[in-house]
Amino acid sequence: MSGSSMWDAIGGIVRRDLLLAMRRRSDAAMSVFFLVIVASLFPLGVGPEPAVLRIIGPGVLWVAALLACLLSLSRVFTADYLDGVLEQMVLIPQPLAVLVVGKVLAHWVISGLPVVLLSPLLGLQFGLDGEPLGVLVLSLLLGTPTLSMIGAIGAALVLGVRGSGLLVALLVLPLYVPVLIFGAGAVTSSMAGIGGEANLSLLGACLVLSLFLAPWATAAAIRIALE
Amino acid sequence: MVNWSKYSSPQAFYPLAGRLIPWFAVVAVVLMGVGLYMGFFVAPTDFQQGEAYRIIFVHVPAAWMSMFLYVVMAVWAGIGMGLNARLSFMMAQAIAPTGAMFTFLALLTGAMWGKPTWGAWWVWDARLTSELILLFQYAGVMLLRTSIDDMRRADRSSAVFALVGVVNVPIIYFSVQWWNTLHQGASVSMSTGSKMAATMLTAMLLMTVAFWLYSIAVILARVRCIMVERESLPVWNEKPAVIQEAVEAR
């Protein structure tokens, strides 16, 4: 199998999923609005004290980003599973894991990238500025693709299972913990003046590891779901 | 030469497990008694931590078993996926509750030790947090299984999830070395030997072996229940000979 046809397959899937998402723009907008609302609830609940908000800011924004990703996970495979497209994908001569990379990439562009682009604005809400704000954007840029990768495993495992919305949260959230710790840790250590490089490197390592392993697990889970 | 592969079929394994359970159970109870006696009465008082340290005779073996059982469960899940063997999936299913129990026990005894020693029931330290995540993963494996009605899919889906979660085990094991944590480093090591008094070490190793044998006994008993449940054998209240006959008739 030539390398170019693999890239063609990924490109084709990404193009198709983005086109479908553009036809239903409100779906994608919903998770972004969710993020904004959750992030805005915390200052109202905790109180508008700038010093407190600066401390909890990185953690709150990361948890909000994590939940926004979680809520959009059902969109990765469910529609294709219900209308039979997923079965056709398994029959395509390209490896299923490669197609999964395309699906996850499209999911990240639809639900992860808006979070990254919006994060400077939300960071300002919590009094972050200067270098910590840059580190926040960078940490989300490195971390959200990992969230989509890990989330795809959970999304594929619960395809067609009753109570799948809650179940996918229970399966995926524990696996998100390292990303959350390193992501929020990068911003916090940058605020403390010791720089976020160490945590950002660990986030990068998580991304590489998940990029390498998650597609195989997701492909296995899809095959099990389609049996 | 024993034909071991014979026991990969539930029909042959069911009576074998039944014969093995009493042995493992009896030795486990005896060792646990001796280990607890040594730990609570023979081992000297720690000069730093006083009597409170004695909880480690339960805590450390429980924490070891929680990680070890997860790996064993993942190995059975992997064998099941690779060889498509029913018994392997049944073993993985049988191990999960015992592993979760030991994880909970490790967290509970850790909290009981942490209160007098650190002054807090719980701290958000790397080892404690990753052990808590291990508990969530055990819960995830069991919940995923119970949510899926189709037995074959339930087996294979929870196997994939168990295998994905194995990544966490080395993180727990090495967390005290990788991060600066409140949780103390290992006192027992294969390479440098032990930093404890000999009686303490003996008591701890006795408890570890006891927990190990207990796990085997309980898991074998549970796997027999799973077999009866799955193969819908009408035999659970019958005499052993009748069970044997019913199993062989299948």
* pLDDT tens digits along A39-76: 888 888 888 888 888 888 888 999 999 999 998 888 88
Cα of A171 to nearest chain B Cα, Å: 5
Looking at residue B190, its pLDDT comes to 52
Three-state DSSP class for residue B49: coil
**Average of per-residue pLDDT across A142-152:** 94
The reply to whether B176 falls in a domain is yes
Is the pTM value of this prediction over 0.90?
Answer: no
Whether A220 and B139 lie within 8 Å, measured CB to CB = no
Q: What does the alpha-carbon distance between residue A203 and residue A136 come to, in Å, rounded to a whole number?
A: 12
Cα of A222 to nearest chain B Cα, Å: 9
The reply to whether B9 falls in a domain is no
Q: Is the pLDDT of residue A220 over 90?
A: yes
Task: Please give the tally of structural domains in chain B.
Answer: 1
Q: Is B178 on the interface with A (CB under 8 A)?
A: no
Question: A8-33: buried (b, 16+ CB within 10 Å) or exposed (e) per residue?
Answer: ebbeebbeebeeebeeeeeebeebbe
Q: Which residues of B touch A153 (CB under 8 A)?
A: 160-161, 164
Q: Is A211 on the interface with B (CB under 8 A)?
A: no
List the domain range (segments joined by +) for residue B215. 15-118+135-249
Model confidence band, residue B120 (pLDDT cutoffs 50, 70, 90): confident
Tokens of B21: 């359970």
Model confidence band, residue B239 (pLDDT cutoffs 50, 70, 90): low
The reply to whether B130 falls in a domain is no
The full DSSP string for chain A is --HHHHHHHHHHHHHHHHHHHHHTHHHHHHHHHHHHHHHHHHHHHH-S-HHHHHHHHHHHHHHHHHHHHHHHTHHHHHHHHHTTHHHHHHHSSS-HHHHHHHHHHHHIIIIIHHHHHHHHHHHHHTT--SHHHHHHHHHHHHHHHHHHHHHHHHHHHTTT-TTHHHHHHHHHHHHHHHHHHHHHHHHHHHHTTS-SHHHHHHHHHHHHHHHHHHHHHHHHHHHHHH-
Percent of chain B with pLDDT over 90: 39
Q: Is A217 on the interface with B (CB under 8 A)?
A: yes
Q: Is the pLDDT of residue B34 over 70?
A: yes
The reply to whether B20 falls in a domain is yes
Looking at residue B13, its pLDDT comes to 82
Cα of B6 to nearest chain A Cα, Å: 28
Q: Is A130 on the interface with B (CB under 8 A)?
A: no
Interface confidence: ipTM more than 0.85: yes
Give the number of other CB atoms < 10 A from CB of residue B92: 27
**Beta-bridge partners for B193:** B189
Looking at residue B66, its pLDDT comes to 92
Give the number of other CB atoms < 10 A from CB of residue B71: 15
Q: Which residues of B touch A162 (CB under 8 A)?
A: 147
The reply to whether B203 falls in a domain is yes
Q: Is B80 on the interface with A (CB under 8 A)?
A: no
Q: What does the alpha-carbon distance between residue B244 and residue B249 come to, in Å, rounded to a whole number?
A: 9
**Average of per-residue pLDDT across A189-200:** 85
The reply to whether B36 falls in a domain is yes
Model confidence band, residue A105 (pLDDT cutoffs 50, 70, 90): very high
The reply to whether B139 falls in a domain is yes
Whether A163 and B165 lie within 8 Å, measured CB to CB = no
